[in-house]
Amino acid sequence: MSETMLFSPFQVGDLKLDNRIVIAPMCQYSAADGCMTDWHLLHYGQLALSGAGLLTIEATAVAPEGRITYADVGLYSDANEVAMARVLDSVRQWSPIPVAIQLAHAGRKASCDLPWKGGAQIPPESPQGWRTVAPSSLAVAADDAAPTALSREEMTRIRGDFVAAARRAARLGLDAVQLHGAHGYLLHQFLSPLSNRRDDEYGGPLENRMRFPLEVFDAVREAFPAGRSVTMRVSGTDWIEGGWSIEETVVFARALEQRGCGAIHVSSGGLLPAQIPLGPGYQVALARVVKAAVGIPVVAVGLITEFDHAEDILKAGDADLIALARAMLYNPRWPWHAAAHFGAHVRAPNQYLRSQPHHLKFLFD
């Protein structure tokens, strides 16, 4: 077997991963009233057989109004929990892959149509729309309905929604929770000065803007079993002058580390339209800065599609784990092909063992 970092084992808290490949959360917009459907059986079933080290369930709303679209997955009701248990039971019957979940609240980016229908915000008076909430009454786009600025009581309720969802995740036996603090959703809206114009203790200086996301983290960390990790996904920058910056991300990451955060997943953007320098690994530099500042595992993500590129990121010390999203949708066997490329081995189901190429005698465990 070839010596590679990509296929070396790794540990996040008590969770042992076979390799450093993480399947990132990817919204499917295919739920009914927050409940997973047969689509999710197909989707997560194939990803569970990929050989990746960790599978992360898509952004899962902690409240109905926290969904990006009316077809988002939720974990805010007993029905949601039962539907997710059905999918997880099927996955676990055929695959030992660890499964994490991303818990989220879309804030002012909620009440949208499906991406393949344009993705525009649905007005609150429409049957499939609702009034959104945010730190401040500032809409994303000029023609969007302005969100309602959250009161302290409503913030307490939302924090409780995260806790309730985390407890459901624990009952479902999920191996880790990731809080979505990126891509312009509610926790990111509190962090960025472009969306947070509050004049109370939750707005203004960085310490205040971090307060609510950290309160949510602390509450979820207390509610989720101690032996299982709570991690955070962040946007390393808004890519807009005067917005959330990589320097602020470092301060936030250090605060998370002090509170027992298991890992930090560094993405970027999403708060407002911005000129983003898209290209292979365009966010790796952000992960590199965070990695140099903290001692917890750092996950790199963003147009990482080539096997050697993923390996080089790890060897350079820019990140500890590589997250794949669209690359996994396009090629759900990406880890198999990467292992073949490096002369490594990967876990495969018994039913597929005879598909091992003749010249790769030790590809499959």
The 3-class SS string of 172-213 reads CCCCEEEEEECCCCHHHHHHCCCCCCCCCCCCCCHHHHCHHH
Number of neighbours of residue 364 by Cβ within 10 angstroms: 19
Q: What is the pLDDT of residue 267?
A: 98
Distances (CA, A) of 355 to 81, 94, 158, 225: 36, 17, 48, 39
Tell me the pLDDT tens digit for each residue of 158-214.
999 999 999 999 999 999 999 999 999 999 999 999 999 999 999 999 999 999 999
What percent of the chain has a predicted confidence (pLDDT) above 70? 99
HSE-CB of 348 using CA atoms within 13 angstroms = 23
Q: Look at residue 1 and tell me whether its pLDDT is greater than 80.
A: no
- Local confidence band at 3 (pLDDT 50, 70, 90 cut-offs): confident
Which backbone phi and psi does 180 adopt, to 5 degrees?
A: -90, 100
Number of neighbours of residue 327 by Cβ within 10 angstroms: 18
Contact 159, 221 (CB under 8 A): no
Question: If you average pLDDT over residues 45-61, what whole number do you get?
Answer: 98
> Which residues are the active-site residues?
185
Q: What is the pLDDT of residue 49?
A: 97
Query: How high does pLDDT run on average in the chain?
Result: 97
| Residue 80 burial (C-beta neighbours within 10 Å; 0-12, 13-18, 19+) | buried
CA distance 228 to 238: 30
CA distance 230 to 232: 7
CA distance 71 to 85: 18
